[in-house]
Amino acid sequence: MRNRLTIALRVMAAAVFVASLGLAAPAEAAPSTGFFMIRSKMNNKCMVPKGSGTGNHVPIVMFTCRSGDPWQFWTVIDNNGTSKRFMNKHSGRCLDIAANSDGEVTFGTRLQTFSCDIAAQWIEDPFGANVLLRWANRPFCIDIVDRNPGNNVPVQMLDCKPFEDGQLWNYLPQTA
């Protein structure tokens, strides 16, 4: 009897765990065509170049999503099916890390815009209805600094933690 109770409790615990993953709706990959906003699950704010900057080295920050602002939209450039680059509609610059090489990417490295080249490589790791955005050459994911829900909060690279809402993203397509 005790053995059956133990098994029943383990089955219930496993069911609760699976349900907590939010697997009812599969993650949507970034659209392969068109423009979209990259929105945080944590605060429903979008990743944008700070101050709608258009040059290289413009910090990436979180800001209230507004569908009328072209600087909030990104498109995908496919890297031969292995990874992706995200190019900003307004600037034509790509989402990149503020480092000169993969070896310089550490905990807390911030994100920026930079000329689109093959070095900007992102991989989408599905998690429930969202994705983790992981740097292709290091085991780090995009994270909102200090889980701060405000505007103009920078994003950084940290260890990938799929249960951290500050690392989960989804996409809002541009509507006409």
pTM of the model: 0.82
In a domain, 11, yes or no: no
Partners of 37 in the β-ladder: 172
Q: Which amino acid is it at 131?
A: V
In a domain, 95, yes or no: yes
What's the mean pLDDT in 29-38? Answer: 87
CATH at 53: 2.80.10.50
In a domain, 2, yes or no: no
Structural domain for 67, as ranges: 28-173
Percent of the chain predicted with pLDDT > 90: 68
Residues 105-137 have pLDDT tens digits of 999 999 999 999 888 899 999 999 999 999 998
Residue 17 has pLDDT above 50, yes or no: no
47 against 137, higher pLDDT: 47
What are the helix (H) ranges across the chain? 2-20
Radius of gyration of the chain (CA): 18
In a domain, 88, yes or no: yes
Q: What is the pLDDT of residue 6?
A: 40
In a domain, 124, yes or no: yes
Count of structural domains, the chain? 1
In a domain, 139, yes or no: yes
Q: Which amino acid is it at 152?
A: N
In a domain, 148, yes or no: yes
In a domain, 16, yes or no: no
